[in-house]
Structure 1
């Protein structure tokens, strides 16, 4: 009964329809877990739903005995299983609702149960761009409507094509790791607003030695590497956050910007969780980075 009620809370909280493509949705199914890990299914699913909704994805939470709604183009489900030793492995699948085909699989490992929230945030941050891309691929092209012969059809412009860019994010230390997943989501959202399609790669590929080669070998003309040097957190009495991040902007010729940026102290509301504070801090990092990108990247919109 308790599990049903917690799942019902998810339905009320995250059953939100966005304005764009209101006829589309992602069905979030309960995660399969071992008996001893059942209590972690709802918090992990909650984090998945929260990140998807924050990314303007319409999420419908589906109970075990509920039918998947027709407007759901994709199904997100997965497992929470014991790994080696005290580790816990989170696996999330994205499937095609039409035939159940698995289109993408992402996993994250928590060294212990105490780190399962970090693993959930990490895998959720990777699920969002994957769902966006798959939803766009499944979206049918609109059938052209032939106007009557005596009506001159208006000129309709095509939607601008997103230009590819590479993104890599690394961190130093456990506190800095808390900022990685929120920063991944913040950068993805910001890049798409500027008509860019970010692809997440390993940070080592954007090192000073390899960055030029990496960009040349890709279809992108831009790469942004973010190294989280520190994320200082205070929680008593009011949550406070402050981050230092090295930003390295490169193109096929070389590095065009390489500097450490520092946020002002980000002040949270009383009782704000560390996760929400990290999200605010991540958006602050992006806000500081924006003018540098505009100044150094030719043709940035």
Structure 2
């Protein structure tokens, strides 16, 4: 069933587990992520970035995820990841997305508030949760600019004021992670997670989690993270499976066959992540 992220994230916060939010690129990704959620009986968030949406359209992705949700008993939410402006978020809401993120993290603090607050007001009126971001998650997300050389950590006191002034229902925080492929081992600044969690009542979100050691993610959840995003490693898993099939069967011209291998790799990694998040059996 297609639901909003409100109840699933509040339950995760209350019971100290994480809900996985997995970026889906096409039908095969949707089916593979759903298979993992069903096998583990986990709530799941499927999300798309503006760059992904440009490849097909909000309506295509809504149609695929809504169809998947209608086939299952596990809670499924459809989330706009890194919404790049008021108009995009409104389009997603009116298309049927059950959660949106407005990303004003690349602009100064006051401008971020001015960007976030109108989306949060409309979301509140429509009953749709709105995620925002404060601080800098490094690397390069989607078509956005790379974030390098800036203080990567969210200021806890600023976070309190930001939530009060914007009305966002969840907050992505900068704690040392980065989007894309890591070069070296990433490190989550757990004391920052703890301090922000002690000051805010809304669920906290961890971005840039692909490649972060499981034990660090588990500790961050214990310290207050409720939603955990994965994108890069799903792309890597699918490509690995697809290419492995083609290497063994170079004459194959039926895309469904290598796609099945790619889907199996996604399902495998998503199940591992759900187990680490503690979401197994929480559907």
TM-score range, shorter chain: under 0.3
**Bigger radius of gyration among the two:** 1
Which structure shows the bigger proportion of residues in helix conformation? Answer: 2
TM-score w.r.t. structure 2 length? Answer: 0.27
Higher strand content, 1 or 2: 1
Please report the TM-score for the alignment, with normalisation by the length of structure 1: 0.26
